[in-house]
Amino acid sequence: MYVSGMPDIKIGFRLREIMRFMELSILFSRLKLLDKIKLKQITPLFVQAIQEYSERFSCGIEGIVSIYRLYATAEVSDEPLFDVLNCLARRDLEGSSSLLRSPVDGSELITIYWSLAKVKYLKLDFFRQTQRSLIKFLSNKDLKISEKEITKLFWALSSSNIYSKVVFDLLIQRYSLILDSFLAGEKTDISLYGLSTNSMALAQSRIKDDNFLEKVEKTVFKLAETIATKDVMLEYSFILLAMAKLSYKSQDICRLVLDSIRQNSKDLTSSMAINLLYAFILLDKLPKDISFILVNIINSSISIESNKEKRRLLRADELLTKYTEDICLDKALIENTKKEIASIYALPPMGSGFQDAVSDVFYDMELEYKQEVKVGPYFTDFVVTQGDLVGTVVEVDGVQYHGYRDSSQSTSEELLRAEIINKYGYNIVHIRSDKWQELDNESRIDWIEKLLSID
């Protein structure tokens, strides 16, 4: 961020000098030369200067948005700074600003929302106000929004675990309109990057919308007519993975990706190979020649960087022999990955309130069990250790975590989890939270006894 010879900022500098440093910071961030340490040192002085000169502070909404973007890009979270900026931006969002005279347009609003989500500054009053403004903007179909801006919002929501049904529904509607225009032959900016990112955002948020995914599929095929497949294998791997996670099974998209793998295997990285292998196993479609290609690419890698990909690799390894016994993942790579995962997740996950409630009922039933027992690559909720029920896994399924949004349907990854646990010789019984909430304590005992077939 700072070139050689540039003086360090001093507390006595006036606001305009500090603003010059911030402008340079923004410039250097765009050049990927940002010094995060310097930025953190400057921030308290910047906050102090804004507070001291708040009556005369007027960098406009464009300046505030640039500062939001700077800190989000740098992934530097500073609550006091965002508190100050939000006080200023709030005036503009309310449309009654004496200091920030220009109205907030859609692009600036999207950047604010994206920045707040990326640095996980989610103070409810301001975040909700920003979200209300965003909903109002997205609801107005006369206001244009680009694929790039929609992708930024999809990413912000999914990566920060924010779920707003209204915002997601509006984003799907607006993006569907863009896809419709493209498929109708109109000149529209559509990219495979946007398709893959937005599809993965839906998968990560467990939002199953087959109509939307069908449009994505058609768009992929239309783009495939003009783009060399060797340049899009990364996007193909994420699109297929998203569709697999959302149980969208299409012979055509599978055939397209399979053919692309056969033609461009030299262009695949270990990361792509892991995602593709996992996706094909979720879809239960893994030809032997493709498993050979993908496994060889994975085995040639020294280690796996992404924790998500490490977990996908271990799950895929459990079921690879289902498709072929002649090909296997490198044992040393798998063992090293297991050790790396174990060091990251040294302790089993904490039980939820729902698990605690089920545990209390088990106690009333005098049922013997163990919690958080590791089976293969998973931690199970309960394993019964009593009599004929030994080897029974009881999974408590909060609908908001184990099913698709607004649906009782289990996700494809939950079905894969069940298949792997069954492979280790366990029977699985599911206790659903929606059913649980309908019953009183005595009825819950009767219900669980029926599930476990206890006389």
Confidence category of residue 356, pLDDT binned at 50, 70, 90: confident
Assign residue 447 the CATH number of its domain: 3.40.960.10
Structure confidence at residue 2 (pLDDT): 32
Q: 58 with 116, same domain?
A: yes
The answer to whether residues 32 and 126 belong to one domain is yes
Give yes or no: residues 274 and 375 share one domain: no
Contacts of 39 (CB under 8 A, 6+ apart): 1, 25, 70, 71, 74, 76
- How confident is the model at residue 271, as a pLDDT? 93
Range name among 30-39, 245-254, 266-275, 329-338 with the lowest pLDDT average = 30-39
* Same-domain pairing of 444 and 390: yes
Domain boundary among 227, 260, 293: 260
- Which of 8-17, 70-79, 385-394 is predicted least confidently? 8-17
* Structural domain span for residue 64: 1-140
Asked whether the CA dihedral 290, 296, 302, 303 is positive or negative, the reply is positive
pLDDT score recorded for residue 13: 45
- One domain, residues 176 and 250: yes
Region of poorest pLDDT, from 14-28, 124-138, 211-225, 383-397: 14-28
Using CA atoms in the order 71, 136, 90, 103, what is the torsion angle rounded to 10 degrees? Answer: 90
Kindly state whether residues 134 and 27 are assigned to the same domain.
yes
Q: What is the pLDDT of residue 167?
A: 86
Domain count, the chain: 4
| pLDDT tens digits along 371-393 | 888 888 888 889 999 888 888 99
**What is the predicted pLDDT for the residue at 96?**
38
Lowest-confidence region among 122-126, 204-208, 218-222, 256-260: 122-126
Residue 193 pLDDT > 60: yes
Return the pLDDT at 251. Answer: 92
pLDDT tens-digit map of 23-33: 666 656 555 56
Q: What is the pLDDT of residue 149?
A: 86
Residue 214 shares a structural domain with residue 332 = no
Q: Please tell me the predicted confidence (pLDDT) of residue 103.
A: 42
One domain, residues 306 and 326? yes
**pLDDT digit string, tens, across residues 150-163:** 998 888 778 766 67
- Domain ends where: 292, 325, 346? 346
Q: How confident is the model at residue 237 (pLDDT cuts 50, 70, 90)?
A: very high
Between 268 and 22, name the one with better pLDDT: 268
Do 341 and 360 share a domain, yes or no? no
Instruction: State whether 51 and 98 are in the same domain.
Output: yes
Q: What value does the mean pLDDT of the chain take? A: 79
Considering the domain architecture, whether residues 361 and 340 belong to the same structural domain is answered as no
Cβ–Cβ < 8 Å for 396, 431: yes
Q: What pLDDT score does 341 carry?
A: 80
Contact at 8 Å (CB) between 267 and 233? yes
Picking from 260, 295, 315, the residue at the C-terminal end of a domain is: 260
Strand partners, 375: 378
Lowest mean pLDDT among 100-109, 129-138, 347-356, 416-425: 100-109
Whether residues 14 and 40 share a domain: the answer is yes
Between the alpha carbon of residue 334 and those of residues 295, 337, 425, the distances in Å are: 12, 5, 22
* Helix (H), strand (E), coil (C) string for the chain: CCCCCCCCCCCCCCHHHHHHHHHHHHHHHHCCCCCHHHHHHHHHHHHHHHHHCCCCCCCHHHHHHHHHHHHHHHCCCCHHHHHHHHHHHHHHHHCCCCCCCCCCCHHHHHHHHHHHHHCCCCCHHHHHHHHHHHHHHHHCCCCCCCHHHHHHHHHHHHHCCCCCHHHHHHHHHHHHHHHHHHHCCCCCCCCHHHHHHHHHHHHHCCCCCHHHHHHHHHHHHHHHCCCCHHHCHHHHHHHHHHHHHCCCCCHHHHHHHHHHHHHCHHHCCHHHHHHHHHHHHHCCCCCHHHHHHHHHHHHCCCCCCCHHHHHHHHHHHHHHHHCCCCCCCCHHHHHHHHHHHHHHCCCCCCCCHHHHHHHHHHHHHCCCEEECCEECCEECCEEECCHHHCCEEEEEECHHHHECCCCCCECHHHHHHHHHHHHCCCEEEEEEHHHHCCCCHHHHHHHHHHHCCCC
